[in-house]
Amino acid sequence: MYLLASEVAIRLVLVREENVMQIPIYFVSHILINPNFNKSNIEKLVLALIKVRRKLRPYFGAHLVKVTD
């Protein structure tokens, strides 16, 4: 899973590893509409993780989720 946070949006790509290749299987993008959203990048990344967790609840419930840097 790759997370990206910018001033105006958060994005997440969920990938599956096959041999040495990474194949994207799910993409989430969320625009931060509120101009007063003065959060740090780590808070934005956590928001992206929460959003995808909610959308993919059945899949995450059946598998181990490991967060690394």
pLDDT tens by residue, 54-68:
877 777 677 676 666
The predicted pLDDT at position 65 comes to: 66
Structure tokens that stand for 51 in this block: 């959003």
Q: What are 20's strand-pairing partners?
A: none
User: Does the global pTM surpass 0.75?
Assistant: no
The predicted pLDDT at position 21 comes to: 92
* pLDDT tens digit sequence for 7-50: 888 888 888 888 889 999 888 888 887 755 677 878 887 877 77
Q: What are 62's strand-pairing partners?
A: none
